[in-house]
Amino acid sequence: MDEYRGVWVFIEQNDGKIEGVSLELLGAGRKLADKLDVPLSGVLLGYEIKSLCQEVIAYGADQVYVIDHEVMKDYRTESYMKAVINLAEKYKPEIFLYGATSNGKDLASAVATDLSTGLTADTTMLDVEVDKRLLEASRPAFGGNIMATILCKKHRPQMATVRPKVMKALEPDPDRQGEVIEEAITLSEDDMRTKVIKIVKDVTKKVNLADAHVVVAGGKGMGDLQNFQLIHDLADAIGATVGGTRDVVEAGWLPHEQQVGQTGETITPKVYFAIGISGAIQHVVGMKNSEFIIAINKDPDAPIFDVATYGIVGDALEIVPKLIKELKEARERGGEMSYV
């Protein structure tokens, strides 16, 4: 087991663009690698993607293992798995992290089976016990009420998939130096038992909550659909995207794509307004990592105040219209607070 050294991150790219979660994992992986005093490496697969290596290094990697091959153009379990297994058997990392995306989970599950090693799913906290070189991968169990720390003591690499938007990416350093290691693979299209016929992007999805910078979210505390309009009005006034709780979506006030929480989106905007939201754990897991959280609720004991940066105990129906008015006036006074 001692021959296994180093922390690896699978770099997921689609159409030549690196997924956000992979950059977040480079940030998290950097900390683990520094604690263990080993290099951090990215594993980058695809076709005509070598230009992405510098980005992987800029976000914290010391090395990038890259396989650039036509057969790797689109993600497929068979081809990606073979490439990753070959690399892992050759270079023997001790820790190997993947984003908990559809492809990341699919790949990690297949790789773990062939390497006969442990894999922890949907991790939200990562740490390492340095003496034993043991990865401590923690994940919410049963709806997030308890956390369980999963260990893999006797097998290497120790693998985990990590949920998007919970780790923090480092500020990229374009001058950072690293090593690019190109690897070959002997695979041809004829070996493949699956073919990607086409990829269809859903362009009908209008609201992209996941990328929103500022989010105004409302809950059942708004009372009814008519009052919920205030959420939209505030969002307009401040240049934000609208979100809501599961209750609100189930009541039909918002479509499901705007639901924040366990069964909706997990988001980390810079600013999050939680209005008329009590703060059930299922909602909180989807927004608690937002940078600046403002909560408005009638109930002083509402759990949302536990995660809020600033809390206002009061009636949203009274406060929000005043806030909208102030924002509009501030803008008219000459753009000193133009947020959009």
Partner 1 sequence: MHIVVCVKQVPDTKIIKINPKTNTLDRRSAPAILNPYDAHAVQEAVKITKTIGKGTISVLSMGPPQAVAVIKKSIEIGADRGFLISDRAFAGADTLATSYALSKALERISKDMPVDLIICGKHAIDGDTGQVGPGIARRLDIPPVTNVIEVSELNEGEKTILIKRKITNGYELIQAQVPCLLTVEKEINSIEYSPMPNMIKAARYEPVIWSVNDLEEVDRTQLGLKGSPTIVGKMFTPPKPEGGKRLEGNAEEQVKQLMELLNDKKELFVSR
Per CB under 8 A, which of residues 147..206 are in contact with partner 1?
147-155, 193-202, 205
* Token pair listed for 154: 């006797």
The answer to whether 294 touches 273, Cβ cutoff 8 Å, is yes
* Token pair listed for 315: 């009636």
User: What whole-number distance in Å separates Cα of residue 152 and Cα of residue 135?
Assistant: 7
Q: Which of 43, 271, 275, 287 binds partner 1 (CB under 8 A)?
A: 271
User: What whole-number distance in Å separates Cα of residue 249 and Cα of residue 283?
Assistant: 12
x/- mask, partner 1, residues 220-249, rule CB under 8 A, reads ------------------xx----------
User: What whole-number distance in Å separates Cα of residue 56 and Cα of residue 116?
Assistant: 28
Q: Which of 322, 332, 334, 335 binds partner 1 (CB under 8 A)?
A: 322
User: Please, which of residues 34-63 interact with partner 1 by CB under 8 A?
Assistant: none
93 versus 118: smaller Cβ distance to partner 1: 118
User: What whole-number distance in Å separates Cα of residue 75 and Cα of residue 54?
Assistant: 21
Other CB atoms closer than 10 Å to residue 235's CB: what's the count? Answer: 21
The answer to whether 116 touches 156, Cβ cutoff 8 Å, is no
User: Please, which of residues 15-34 interact with partner 1 by CB under 8 A?
Assistant: none
User: Please, which of residues 68-127 interact with partner 1 by CB under 8 A?
Assistant: 74, 77-78, 81, 101-103, 105-106, 108-110, 112-114, 116-122
Question: Per rule CB under 8 A, is residue 293 in the interface with partner 1?
Answer: yes
**Nearest to residue 52, comparing CAs of 38, 68, 39?**
68
- The window from 36-44, 221-229, 248-256, 290-298 that contacts partner 1 (CB under 8 A) reads 290-298
223 versus 314: smaller Cβ distance to partner 1: 314
129 versus 182: smaller Cβ distance to partner 1: 129
